[in-house]
Amino acid sequence: MKILLIGAAVAATVTAFETPAWLYPAPSTERRPPAADPEATVTLPGSRVTLKERDLRTPERAVDWFPDPAQPVPAFIRENAQPGQYACGFCHLPHGDGRPENASLAGLPEEYIIDQTEAFRSGARTAARAGWFPSTAMRTTIQHASADDVATAARWFSRQPFTSRVKVVESATVPPTAPLGFILAAQPGPREPIAGRIIEVPDDPHAFEKRDPRATFTAWVPPGSIAKGRAIAAELGCIECHAEQMNGWGPGRSPSYILRQLLAFKSRARADDGAEPMQAVADQLDFDQMVAVAAWMADGAKAKP
């Protein structure tokens, strides 16, 4: 299998199963930004909620900028009563909009959500890149959740409407990037070659950091990716098999997430009972083809241009 490893602007071909570092960003331990005053007031345009800086960094509690009294977020998703344990809504956001480093859950089938949480719990599902923090934290969280809590979460997230928040743009060049938490963010400086990558960045890093569920993203993909992905999808029957909505297909979801999943199926990091059909699909794709398919899916998985 051919994979482009991007380091020091050098692309190398490797044979073993490898995952590119740019797809699994992690904050630098050397360049920590100065800690903000935990008591500082934080607001968001369009929201009536006022928070403190520390609310953005309290894993036990989800940040809910748009509470709807007619449809209250279940307590377990809002707040984890076990000290030190994350609330589902902290990472996935209260309505399941998700972020590129985790997964959108809004509108996924209830049964699929339960199956996948079970797969994380048992270890049958992990990330293709061992030890990547967001995935290991997902696993730890689910090990502390009861079956009732998971059932509540699955019912809630499956009933939330999904809105795509990513714009896919084909381009031979991209802005330079650096990790912002567990995603990439654009940096000032001359553009660099895309070199076979998907570079997904928040349009407004501040909105992202405030866990704004309406934050939008741009995903730069190599020129020609969408059409190439569409052709591969037609050949492998993605739409036909996924037509029954039996799993987390989801056109318009984060392409970084989709690409990580294709790698997880191929590497067998996703080896739960239901994974076999997708392992067979992923086995037929090399890395560049996965990039193309992820670009096509994130762009809406349109059957025609």
Q: Interface with ligand HEC by CB under 6 A: which residues? A: 86, 88, 90-92, 101-103, 105, 108, 113, 115-117, 127, 134-135, 137-138, 141-142, 145, 150, 153, 232-233, 236-238, 241-242, 247-249, 258, 260-261, 270, 272, 274-275, 277-278, 281, 293, 297
Nearest residue (CB) to ligand HEC, 101 versus 212: 101
Nearest residue (CB) to ligand HEC, 116 versus 175: 116
Nearest residue (CB) to ligand HEC, 94 versus 196: 94
**What is the distance between the alpha carbons of residues 196 and 189, in angstroms, rounded to a whole number?**
20
Nearest residue (CB) to ligand HEC, 2 versus 191: 2
Q: How far is the CB of 283 from ligand HEC (least distance, A)?
A: 11
One-character DSSP codes across 25-61:
----SSSPPPPPPTT-EE--TT----EEGGGGG-TTB
Q: How far is the CB of 96 from ligand HEC (least distance, A)?
A: 9
**What is the distance between the alpha carbons of residues 197 and 4, in angstroms, rounded to a whole number?**
8
Residue number with the shortest CB distance to ligand HEC?
A: 248
Nearest residue (CB) to ligand HEC, 9 versus 81: 81
Q: How many CB atoms lie within 10 A of CB 303?
A: 9
- How far, in Å, are 53, 174, 186, 193, 197 from residue 190 at the CA level? 33, 9, 11, 10, 17
Nearest residue (CB) to ligand HEC, 177 versus 254: 254
**What is the distance between the alpha carbons of residues 39 and 36, in angstroms, rounded to a whole number?**
9
Contact 199, 184 (CB under 8 A): yes
**What is the distance between the alpha carbons of residues 155 and 89, in angstroms, rounded to a whole number?**
14
Contact 291, 221 (CB under 8 A): yes
Q: How far is the CB of 40 from ligand HEC (least distance, A)?
A: 24
Q: How far is the CB of 164 from ligand HEC (least distance, A)?
A: 14
Q: How far is the CB of 88 from ligand HEC (least distance, A)?
A: 3
Angle (CA) 67-69-72 rounded to 5° is 75
Q: How far is the CB of 102 from ligand HEC (least distance, A)?
A: 4
| Phi then psi dihedrals of residue 11, to 5 deg | -100, 125
Nearest residue (CB) to ligand HEC, 165 versus 260: 260
Q: How far is the CB of 116 from ligand HEC (least distance, A)?
A: 4
Nearest residue (CB) to ligand HEC, 93 versus 175: 93
Angle (CA) 180-184-186 rounded to 5° is 95
Handedness of CA 198, 202, 208, 212 (dihedral sign): negative
Joined tokens for residue 137: 């934290």
Q: How far is the CB of 38 from ligand HEC (least distance, A)?
A: 20
Look at strands 177-180 and 183-186 and give their pairing.
antiparallel
